[in-house]
Amino acid sequence: MAVVGFDVDGGVGTIRLDRPPMNVINSEVTAGLRAAADEATRRTDVRAVIIYGGPKVFAAGADVKEMAPLDHAEILTWVTELTTTFEAVARIPKPVVAAVTGYALGGGLELALTADFRVFGDNVKAGQPEILLGIIPGAGGTQRLPRLIGVAKAKDLIFTGRQVRATEAKEIGLADRLVAPDDVYTEARSLVARFVDGPAVALRAAKRAIDDGLDSGLSEGLRLETSLFAGLFGTQDRRIGLDSFVERGPGKADFVGR
């Protein structure tokens, strides 16, 4: 049975981790995540994506037993593959939400950080506990976490390795929504539903402008924004959107995703 599944329903693709009991991330999970990210990126019938670990746990971290015996060269290959896989998830050119229950620790939290939004169950415990093993986060935690919650808060979590409960996660901006664990996936679908019939090319451009702009200087980001903005004037959705606004007012366009 596959440890990572990918299903599509109503324009929403779900990347499902399925390595019980804790969805620990090993090489097989990494390969499955990469394949799912590539499929979600490629398929035109996928308009939004949910990353889900099931009703009990999102992912309790990377597989320490797999990592422990590796030497320097081997661990470099291992963590590079994990990092590039998470980058592929982050680069899915569609809105992505992580639906998080139970534990999101270490590599599990790093996976959740690749999403555009995070829905947490109120039973979640999240953190970057790598420092307690004498190492540091190696798949994006030191980079994505401070960009999301701020440098000081990220250093607190990374330096101490402590876990935060769902309410604190919401307070510091790590979680966007809190719901009961049984409602996490439904809430995630509700969050992305607004994008399924949206202007897919414009959404892709907006995601790229924000994400790439944050990784560059302001002037470079503004040039990127200008280029992407102008490029959208070659799309069918741009004409539909502007014509609909003129004829019927805002928010009434029926986009086709081209």
Least confident range of 16-20, 107-111, 166-170, 233-237: 233-237
Please tell me the pTM assigned to this model.
Answer: 0.95
Whether 243 shows a pLDDT value over 90: the answer reads no
Residues 6+ apart with CB under 8 A from 251: none
- Confidence class of residue 254 from pLDDT cuts 50, 70 and 90? confident
H-run or E-run covering 140: none
The yes-or-no answer on residue 171 being catalytic is no
Residues forming beta bridges with residue 7, ordered by sequence position: 14
Residue 145: is its pLDDT beyond 90?
yes
Give the residue carrying structure tokens 């790590």: 174
pLDDT at 253 over 80: no
Q: Structurally, what CATH architecture does the domain formed by 200-248 represent?
A: Orthogonal Bundle (1.10)
Q: Return the CATH fold of 4-196.
A: 2-enoyl-CoA Hydratase; Chain A, domain 1 (3.90.226)
Each domain of the chain, given as residue ranges in start order, spans: 4-196, 200-248
Q: Is 231 a catalytic residue?
A: no
Check whether 146 has a pLDDT greater than 80. yes
Cβ pair 59, 102 in contact under 8 A? no
Tokens 């534990």 belong to which residue? 103
Specify the higher pLDDT residue, 234 or 87: 87
Catalytic residue (one of 37, 48, 60, 62): 62
Q: Which of 32, 107, 138, 241 does the annotation list as catalytic?
A: 107
Residue 62 annotated as catalytic: yes
For 57-80, write each residue's pLDDT tens digit.
999 999 999 999 999 999 999 999
Q: Enter the tokens of residue 118.
A: 């995070």
107 belongs to the catalytic site: yes
